[in-house]
Amino acid sequence: MPKISVIVPVYKVEKYLNRCVESILAQSFADFELFLVDDGSPDNCPKMCDEWAQKDNRIKVIHKANGGLSDARNAALDKATGDYISFVDSDDYITEDAFETLYYSIVKNDADISVGNMMSVNENGEISDFYCPTSTETILENDDLFKTMYQPCAQNRLYKANIFKTLRFPVGRFYEDVFTWHKVLSQTNKIVLTGKTDYYYLVRTDSIMHSKYDIRFTDIVDAIRERYIWLEAIGQKDMANEARMFIYPRVAVAFANLDSKIPENKKRLKEIKKIYNECYPILMKQKGIPLTQKIRLTLLRFFPELHSIVFGKKMPIALG
């Protein structure tokens, strides 16, 4: 049985797939199985996955109908046999010692999750900090675990496999990591931040999150709502209210960018407006919110179309 199950969803990434797989196979820690999940990719990726499997017996290929990132990850989770789980996106790449660092850090500290630093790299090769919470090994326990909620991405981490014994990513939803991270934390007692850079996240101009705004982006409102309900249920009222603050900009940008004359959009705007209306009285009572911000909150509550006209289509400041 391998120590680590590595899961790589693959869809329309033939330009980047080889670099990703090569970086995984070059690991100094070699005791892993690698799942390449062909998510119904319409390009040359299915063939490339099969060719890689012929070169290395640690590689297992899953071919499936297109179901999205969550569905691809879930398909591999159903088959993973490792003691630990790691996710790598197929257009990203990792350093040669990524698994070694994450594995020995999680074992040494008897942690549930180990987290490395992540850099972003654009298509010109320019690198910058993306998520670098520390430069030295740091243990997070108790309330400190909630610090990780500000960057809930599934990648650049090593998880004890039992966290995903029953937990799966939400199929068909954007912001799948936001939907999932608080559920991961509910099964976590200790996280270790390695302080070492091990993951390079490719920022693509043609990626989903850089595409034109559409109705799917409103999934973030449901994800945040699930988060603040969970936080409140475990007694983290202040953090729950902090999460509620992010409902405002997300609903505001939806009203500014979605054409309400389209029935599907109209229905969805009504749904997320209901969530915002539930948050509104709580937000208005928060300390330290200036009068100008309260005016913005009130405009969105009672006159969302006017709010869009006044403040435009860009994402407004959350609060403050």
Q: How far apart are CA 152 and CA 129, in angstroms?
A: 16
- For residues 317 and 249, the answer to whether their CB atoms sit within 8 Å is yes
Q: How far apart are CA 76 and CA 94, in angstroms?
A: 20
Looking at residues 34-62, what average pLDDT do you find? 98
Res. 209: pLDDT tops 70: no
Predicted pLDDT of residue 124: 87
CA angle 172, 174, 177 (to 5 degrees): 105
Predicted pLDDT of residue 206: 65
What is the pLDDT confidence band of residue 320, given thresholds at 50, 70 and 90?
very low
- C-alpha to C-alpha distances, 184 to 160, 234, 238, 240, nearest whole angstrom: 11, 14, 20, 17
Name the region of 264 (left: φ>0; alpha: ψ -120 to 50; beta: rest): alpha
- For residues 18 and 44, the answer to whether their CB atoms sit within 8 Å is no
In this predicted model, which residue has the larger pLDDT, 314 or 230? 230
Looking at residues 196-220, what average pLDDT do you find? 85
pLDDT, tens digit (0-9, with 9 covering 90-100), for 160-207: 999 999 999 999 999 999 999 999 999 999 999 999 999 999 997 766
Res. 123: pLDDT tops 80: yes
- C-alpha to C-alpha distances, 111 to 104, 144, 187, 192, 319, nearest whole angstrom: 10, 14, 12, 6, 34
Predicted pLDDT of residue 14: 96
Predicted pLDDT of residue 313: 72
Beta bridge partners of 63: 38
What single-letter amino acid sits at 158?
L
Task: Indicate the average pLDDT of the chain.
Answer: 94
Res. 94: pLDDT tops 90: yes
